[in-house]
């Protein structure tokens, strides 16, 4: 194949990928809005439950201990943390649900993506991007409403620039989470059930990522080790960034570490994908 | 366009004893068995040719099709399609092929077909004008113009299959793999799809590899068939020539007078002295009418004996139909 021909093929591929990405995102958005009642009900229900539990739990804890500040948060700051967790989580962790890849493998519908001239994971990532757009919309509406009603709590530097840095972190985290979930789900090429692995990953993400408790509650030693795992970048890092709790230096350092994990997992996902296909039979012979 | 040389494929599957005990045991020790789906298959398909792949369930047809489409990696041997190695799945290769599986949905279930086609337009980089022309043409030919904006899951099986066909042919593939395209469809839909495939072939001259359990599909679409038995090609040649592998013919005789009613399955040697035993048996019998199955090489002996010994008014000899012959080959292999 001559260099020119290869270049043209490559350009074709990129053009197709971009178009497909656009098309799938728009398709998924249409689907999300088509089921809008269930969609918003589920979202608001989840948010409300989360905040109610956090409110009563932390009110009791603050009252009992008499402390004004716990794990670096005032009571109001703590509540804002729990408001941000599901909102930012909508961006960073939306690929956790659904086990889409595993079920494509088990049912054999993966076959169709293997025939299309397009990487399967790109198609899946387009799904995730659509969910991110919806989550951004929800974040904007809910956070503005919350801040308008309750104001920014004392000791929290929530500014346009902290929100921007937080969102950049959240987008990176979204990609990282996508890679982690995809890699685990691709174990379905060999194992008959990846559901338990998936649940383990989800709970680890919640506990070690800071969705259940702010990571600043853990002993300093544990926090240091946690920084070496990919989990804190999924939740704690973008939420802390939005709340203005990180200096630019800290933010950049965390971004760097997250980048390294993204790199490692990209390679891993690629290897698993390549090897997995070798043992894929497309169900039935 | 398709060239397969000495292709073999072995799947490793694990075996689990039934019940809870079996499940627990398989947690610790798995029993693996090798299942050889294809053995030493060689095959060539040219432009404009529709080759029918025939075989019993599990004979390896679908594995062969999936290997050619690049979904399954071969264990040994080589497969070349359009000059590409399918399982490398180069995009340039995938833009020129299509895989239609009657048992599997390719289009998006909860969207109207029109949305799915739009996505396919992007995937295959089809220019707008060509896309419009092709879609119009395909939808009109298959008579589904009014169904384009209906959610796929609200369509009937036949309508869905037509949409699948459109989806598979929008980009004008040069090689088309069809895995049981008419399964579960009613006769009208089957006929429409067969006619459509023939028209498509006449206009586009693609190479097609077709598997089907319906002899009507095969007889209507393929001049050449390949019979696969336990992963091996046992026949590769013209559909018409398969008749020479018929092992039996059927004789029907009408008698002038009645005789004692014969038992079904009885050997005719008992009734006709001088005829060797084990070459002809009775299939149906009344007092004045018999149908007899006879070994191909003894048709003349039997006819002569019948005319000599019985008051025959009329005698007809029928060749076994192609379906029966193929069934015989699928069951027992080729023994000409």
Please, are residues B60 and B233 in contact by the beta-carbon 8 Å criterion?
no
Closest CA relative to residue A281, chosen from A172, A203, A218, A188: A188
Instruction: Give the whole-angstrom CA distance, residue A43 versus residue A87.
Output: 9
Instruction: Give the whole-angstrom CA distance, residue A173 versus residue A178.
Output: 8
Instruction: List, for residues B127-173, the tens digit of each pLDDT value.
Output: 999 999 999 988 988 889 999 988 888 988 888 888 998 999 999 99
Please, are residues B111 and B152 in contact by the beta-carbon 8 Å criterion?
yes
Instruction: Give the whole-angstrom CA distance, residue A5 versus residue A7.
Output: 5
Query: What's the confidence (pLDDT) of residue A261?
Result: 97
Ranges assigned E (strand) in B86-164: 97-101
CB contact under 8 A, A114 and B89: yes
CB contact under 8 A, B122 and A19: yes
Q: Which of B23, B119, B168 to mutate to test the interface with A (most CBs of A within 10 A)?
A: B119
State the nearest Cα–Cα gap between B125 and chain A, in angstroms. Answer: 6
Query: With an 8 Å Cβ cutoff, is A7 touching chain B?
Result: no
The three-state (H, E, C) secondary structure of A62-123, written as one string:
HHHHCCCCECCECHHHHHHHHHHHHHHHHHHCCCCCCCHHHHHHHHCCHHHHHHCCCCHHHH
Query: Quick check: helix, strand or coil at residue A155?
Result: coil
pLDDT band at A283 (very low <50, low <70, confident <90, very high): low
Closest CA relative to residue A129, chosen from A91, A103, A97: A91
How do the domains of chain A map onto residue ranges?
2-279
Count CB pairs under 8 A between chains A and B: 81
Q: Choose between A81 and A281: higher pLDDT.
A: A81
Percent of chain A with pLDDT over 70: 94
The structure tokens 């091996």 sit at B232
Instruction: Give the whole-angstrom CA distance, residue B119 versus residue B94.
Output: 16
Query: What's the confidence (pLDDT) of residue A172?
Result: 96
Nearest to A115 among B60, B94, B118 (CB): B94
CA A244, A232, A136: angle at the middle one, nearest 5? 60
ipTM reported for the complex surpasses 0.95: no
Query: What's the confidence (pLDDT) of residue A2?
Result: 45
Query: What's the confidence (pLDDT) of residue A96?
Result: 60
> Both tokens of residue A184?
């685990």
Percent of chain A with pLDDT over 90: 46
Query: What's the confidence (pLDDT) of residue B287?
Result: 85
pLDDT band at A234 (very low <50, low <70, confident <90, very high): very high
State the nearest Cα–Cα gap between B92 and chain A, in angstroms. Answer: 7
Instruction: Give the whole-angstrom CA distance, residue B9 versus residue A185.
Output: 26
Q: Choose between A162 and A71: higher pLDDT.
A: A162
Whether residue A6 has pLDDT greater than 70: no
> Average pLDDT, stretch A186-207?
87
Whether residue B336 has pLDDT greater than 60: no
Instruction: Give the whole-angstrom CA distance, residue A210 versus residue B134.
Output: 53
> Average pLDDT, stretch A82-93?
91
Instruction: Report yes or no on whether pTM surpasses 0.90.
Output: no
Please, are residues A174 and A92 in contact by the beta-carbon 8 Å criterion?
yes
State the nearest Cα–Cα gap between A181 and chain B, in angstroms. Answer: 23
> Average pLDDT, stretch A76-85?
93
Q: Choose between B69 and B183: higher pLDDT.
A: B69
| Average pLDDT along chain A | 87
Please, are residues B4 and B41 in contact by the beta-carbon 8 Å criterion?
yes
Instruction: List, for residues B226-276, the tens digit of each pLDDT value.
Output: 989 888 898 898 888 887 777 788 888 998 888 888 788 888 888 887 788
Query: What's the confidence (pLDDT) of residue B334?
Result: 65
Nearest to B69 among A23, A109, A115 (CB): A115
> Average pLDDT, stretch A51-76?
91
Q: Choose between A61 and B142: higher pLDDT.
A: A61
Query: What's the confidence (pLDDT) of residue A97?
Result: 61
Q: Choose between B145 and A13: higher pLDDT.
A: B145
Q: Identify residues of B whose CB sits under 8 angstroms from chain A CBs.
A: 11-12, 35, 37, 58, 60, 62-63, 66, 69-73, 89, 91-95, 97-99, 101, 104-106, 108, 110-111, 115, 118-119, 122-125
Closest CA relative to residue A233, chosen from A170, A183, A156, A184: A170
| Average pLDDT along chain B | 86
Q: Is the dihedral of CA B82, B84, B85, B87 positive or negative?
A: negative
| Least confidently predicted of A192-201, B59-68, B139-148 | A192-201
Query: With an 8 Å Cβ cutoff, is A5 touching chain B?
Result: no
Instruction: Give the whole-angstrom CA distance, residue A3 versus residue A14.
Output: 16
Nearest CA in chain A to B26: A192
Query: What's the confidence (pLDDT) of residue B265?
Result: 81
Query: Quick check: helix, strand or coil at residue B30?
Result: coil
> Both tokens of residue A275?
């090897």
CB contact under 8 A, B71 and A115: yes
CB contact under 8 A, B118 and A23: yes
CB contact under 8 A, A117 and B123: yes
- Residues from chain A contacting residue B125 (CB–CB below 8 Å): 12, 15-16, 19
Query: What's the confidence (pLDDT) of residue B107?
Result: 78
Q: Which of A126, A191, A276, A285 to mutate to test the interface with B (most CBs of B within 10 A)?
A: A285
Nearest to B119 among A24, A31, A281 (CB): A24
Whether residue B15 has pLDDT greater than 80: no
Instruction: Give the whole-angstrom CA distance, residue B223 versus residue A204.
Output: 60
Whether residue A192 has pLDDT greater than 70: yes
pLDDT band at B23 (very low <50, low <70, confident <90, very high): low
> Both tokens of residue A154?
């004392």
Whether residue B332 has pLDDT greater than 90: no
Instruction: Give the whole-angstrom CA distance, residue B32 versus residue A254.
Output: 46
Instruction: Give the whole-angstrom CA distance, residue B79 versus residue B1.
Output: 11
């Amino acid at each position: 194949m001559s260099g020119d021909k290869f270049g043209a093929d490559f350009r074709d591929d990129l053009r197709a990928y971009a178009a497909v990405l656009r098309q799938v995102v728009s398709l998924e958005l249409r689907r999300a809005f088509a089921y809008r009642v269930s969609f918003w009900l589920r979202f608001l229900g989840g948010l409300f439950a989360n905040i109610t539990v956090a409110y009563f739990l932390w009110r009791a804890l603050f009252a009992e201990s008499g402390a004004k500040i716990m794990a670096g948060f005032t009571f109001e700051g703590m509540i804002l943390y729990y408001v941000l967790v599901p909102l930012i989580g909508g961006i960073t962790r939306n690929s956790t649900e659904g086990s889409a890849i595993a079920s494509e493998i088990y049912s054999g519908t993966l076959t169709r993506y293997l025939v299309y001239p397009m990487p399967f994971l790109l198609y899946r990532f387009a799904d995730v991007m659509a969910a991110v757009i919806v989550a951004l919309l929800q974040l904007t509406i809910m956070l503005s409403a919350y801040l308008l009603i309750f104001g920014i709590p004392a000791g929290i530097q929530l500014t346009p620039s902290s929100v921007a840095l937080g969102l950049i972190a959240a987008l990176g985290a979204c990609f990282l989470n996508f890679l982690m979930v995809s890699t685990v789900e691709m174990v379905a090429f060999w194992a008959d059930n990846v559901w338990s692995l998936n649940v383990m990953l989800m709970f680890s993400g919640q506990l070690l990522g800071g969705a259940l408790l702010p990571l600043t509650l853990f002993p300093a030693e544990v926090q240091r080790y946690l920084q070496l795992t990919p989990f804190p970048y999924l939740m704690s890092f973008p939420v802390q960034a939005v709340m203005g709790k990180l200096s630019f230096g800290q933010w950049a350092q965390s971004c760097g570490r997250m980048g390294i994990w993204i790199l490692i997992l990209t390679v891993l996902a690629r290897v698993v994908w390549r090897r997995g296909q070798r043992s894929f039979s497309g169900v039935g012979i | 366009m398709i060239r397969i040389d000495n292709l073999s494929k072995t799947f490793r599957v694990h075996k689990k004893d039934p019940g809870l005990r079996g499940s627990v045991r398989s947690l610790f020790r798995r029993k693996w068995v090798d299942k050889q789906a294809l053995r030493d298959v060689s095959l060539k398909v040219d432009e404009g040719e529709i080759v029918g792949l025939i075989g019993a369930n599990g004979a390896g047809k679908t594995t062969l099709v999936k290997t050619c489409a690049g979904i399954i990696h071969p264990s040994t041997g080589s497969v070349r399609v359009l000059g590409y190695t399918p399982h490398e799945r180069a995009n340039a290769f995938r833009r020129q092929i299509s895989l239609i599986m009657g048992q599997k949905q390719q289009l998006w279930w909860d969207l109207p077909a029109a949305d799915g086609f739009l996505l396919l337009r992007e995937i295959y980089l089809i220019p707008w004008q060509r896309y419009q022309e092709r879609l119009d043409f395909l939808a009109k030919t298959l008579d589904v113009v009014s169904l384009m904006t209906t959610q796929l899951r609200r369509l009937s099986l036949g309508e869905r299959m037509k949409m699948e066909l459109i989806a598979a042919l929008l980009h004008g593939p040069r090689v088309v793999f069809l895995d049981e395209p008419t399964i579960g469809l009613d006769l009208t839909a089957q006929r429409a799809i067969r006619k459509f495939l023939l028209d498509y072939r006449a206009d586009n001259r693609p190479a097609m590899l077709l598997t089907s359990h319906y002899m009507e599909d095969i007889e209507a679409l393929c001049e050449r068939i390949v019979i696969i038995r336990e992963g091996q090609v046992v026949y590769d040649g013209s559909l018409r020539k398969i008749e020479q592998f018929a092992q039996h013919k059927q004789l029907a005789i009408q008698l002038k007078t009645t005789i004692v009613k014969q038992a079904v399955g009885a050997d005719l040697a008992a009734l006709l002295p001088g005829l060797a035993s084990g070459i002809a048996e009775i299939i149906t019998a009344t007092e004045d009418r018999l149908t007899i199955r006879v070994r191909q090489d003894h048709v003349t002996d039997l006819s002569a004996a019948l005319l000599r010994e019985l008051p025959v008014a009329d005698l007809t000899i029928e060749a076994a139909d192609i379906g029966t012959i193929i069934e015989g080959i699928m069951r027992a292999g080729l023994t000409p």
